[in-house]
Amino acid sequence: MTANDLISQVIPSLKTSDTGQTALNWMEIFRISHLPIVNNQDFLGLISDNDIYDMNKPEEAIGNHELTLLKPYVKDNQHLFEVVGLAARLKLSVVPVLDDRNHYKGVVTTSDLVQHIAGISSMDQPGGIIVLEMVERDYSLSQIAQIVESNNVKVLSMYITSPSDSIRLEVTLKVNATDLLSVIRTFERYNYDVKTWVSTNDSIDQFYSERFDLLMKYLNM
């Protein structure tokens, strides 16, 4: 999926003759904090609500003020992940999109990005989430998938996170089952550290509650 597929059909662009108040009104309507300023097809930059507040005269035309505008953009053929990366780095509510001639085509909103990411990562699908923690040398995608699938469960998506100063990984799995008990027990048999899980099924909580009760009985003997 590319930036061109994600362009919003409703977010307007500003002209330098538009007032700051007009920009603020549109930002409030569309629940964003940035808008592009465009001259014909030329992208001049992004203006933020803070830029407008700093003007002190929002009723005046934007072009009457000397502004130092950010000029971030992606090309229309760039991948969804590149759009997400730019939005995250600069904390943007919209990401401008240009074509191969650097003509303005529109913007991608971060709210649309969230919806598309949820779709491609299956986060909006029913199922459960399991988070494993391990050192890097123990990571094996094939073994993790084999453990899940050996319980007649499928991995819908997976992502890996790791602090830059750590050799440990967190592997987050989204699976197509809500009863995660058998999968978790299999991971534990293979000495995986199951850090946490999310499930609407209460059998796992019951299982670990029973384990805790047994431990307490043992300690009280």
Structure confidence by residue, pLDDT tens digits, 95-146 = 999 999 999 999 999 988 988 887 776 676 788 989 999 998 899 999 999 9
Rounded CA gap, 52 and 48, in Å? 7
**Could you tell me which CATH class the domain 3-118 is placed in?**
alpha beta
- Is the pTM for the entire model greater than 0.85? no
> How does 93-132 read in b/e, with b if 16+ C-beta sit within 10 Å?
bbbbbbeeeeebbbbbbbebbeebeeeeebeeeebbbbeb
**Could you tell me which CATH class the domain 128-219 is placed in?**
alpha beta
Three-state secondary-structure class, residue 63: helix
Q: Where in the chain is the domain with CATH 3.30.70.260?
A: 128-219
Rounded CA gap, 2 and 90, in Å? 19
The token pair that represents 185 in the structure block: 């027990």
Give per-residue pLDDT as tens, 20-60.
999 999 999 999 999 999 999 999 999 999 999 888 888 88
The token pair that represents 103 in the structure block: 């003509």
What percentage of residues in the chain have a pLDDT greater than 90? 59
Q: How far does Cα 96 stand from its chain's mean position?
A: 18
C-beta atoms surrounding 61 within 10 Å: 14
Give the residue from 189, 121, 193 showing the smallest Cα distance to 150: 189
Rounded CA gap, 57 and 53, in Å? 8
Residue 172 and residue 158 in contact, taking contact as beta carbons nearer than 8 Å: yes
More confident residue, 89 or 221: 89
Rounded CA gap, 60 and 20, in Å? 7
Q: Where in the chain is the domain with CATH 3.10.580.10?
A: 3-118
User: Over 60: is that where the pLDDT of 221 sits?
Assistant: no
